[in-house]
Chains A and B, each alone.
Chain A
């Protein structure tokens, strides 16, 4: 079946530190991969996505590369800010013929950035 596994948090970093949040997946076919971010008390916002192998999604200094050989989509940022404190969700959409295309989410990783 389809599943997403992401590193458990919470992750606590100092401002300007390098961030990596690991995400691996199991899927049938060729899924699309997403990172969503959730700020306290709010809904989810799309952060970035990649739809095929070797694609790199990027937004607001965050990057993730779709690695089919390692079934991974790790999120990285070179220098985090206090405003990046949030919960980050990795997700996949199966995208095979006849798929209902529902998103399958990891459990989320809470990031706290200290000044």
Chain B
């Protein structure tokens, strides 16, 4: 089955530690995205990538880093510089047509808790 997988589902880390969230897709999508969701708020874009080896900052990139070495993978690292990292993190992917983005498809999410 085609889809997006995120692992782990739940993640705990101590303050001051970096942690990497995995996102893999087998939909052959060019574009991939990371969002952060906090209670009572919509989704906020952290980083996105429209092609391998290229990515751009979203609205709240500070304290996060990404890489896009393969089309199917877009890992997100939450660094110790992120002041309030406890949140639900969602990865998404989409095709692009003529520079415009088609429907985004989401993974199941990773809930990160900083202890």
Q: Do A and B come from one complex?
A: yes
Enumerate chain A interface residues (CB-CB to B < 8 A). Answer: 4, 34, 36, 41-46, 49, 89, 93, 95, 97-103, 105-108
CB of A24, distance to nearest CB on chain B (Å):
14
When A43-B107, A44-B90, A89-B42 are in contact, do A102 and B100 touch as well, CB less than 8 Å? no
Say which residue of A43, A95, A100, A107 sits within 8 Å of B42 (CB atoms). Answer: A107
Q: Among B4, B96, B109, point to the contact of A101 (Cβ < 8 A).
A: B96
Q: Which of B13-21, B43-51, B76-84 sits within the interface?
A: B43-51
Partner of A43 from B45, B50, B96, B108 at Cβ < 8 Å: B108
Task: Assess whether B103 is in contact with A46, with CB atoms less than 8 Å apart.
Answer: yes
Determine whether the beta carbon of B101 is less than 8 Å from that of A101: yes
Question: Does A97 contact B99, Cβ atoms closer than 8 Å?
Answer: yes
Q: B99 — which chain A residues lie within 8 A by C-beta?
A: 97-99, 101
Do residues A100 and B50 form an inter-chain contact, with CB atoms below 8 A? yes
Q: In the complex the two chains form, what is the Cα distance from A73 to B43 in whole Å?
A: 18
**Which residues on the A side are within 8 Å of B31 (C-beta)?**
101
**Are B56 and A105 in contact, with the CB atoms below 8 A?**
no
Enumerate chain A residues within 8 angstroms of B105, measured Cβ to Cβ. Answer: 46
Whether a CB of chain A sits under 8 angstroms from the CB of B2 is no
The interface residues of chain A, by DSSP majority, are classed as loop
Report yes or no: B104 in contact with A103, Cβ–Cβ below 8 A.
Answer: yes
Asked if B106 is an interface residue, CB under 8 A from chain A, the answer is yes
Which residues of chain B are within 8 angstroms of A95 by Cβ–Cβ distance?
A: 100-101
The answer to whether A106 and B42 touch across the interface, beta carbons within 8 angstroms, is: yes
Verify B56–A100 contact, CB threshold 8 A.
Answer: yes
Q: List 25 A-B contacts (CB under 8 A).
A: A43-B107, A43-B108, A43-B109, A44-B43, A44-B92, A44-B106, A45-B106, A46-B103, A46-B105, A89-B42, A95-B101, A97-B99, A99-B99, A99-B100, A101-B94, A101-B101, A102-B33, A102-B101, A103-B33, A103-B43, A103-B92, A106-B42, A107-B41, A108-B40, A108-B42
Known: A42-B109, A102-B58. A93 touches B100 (CB 8 A): yes
Report the minimum CB–CB distance from B5 to chain A (whole Å): 11
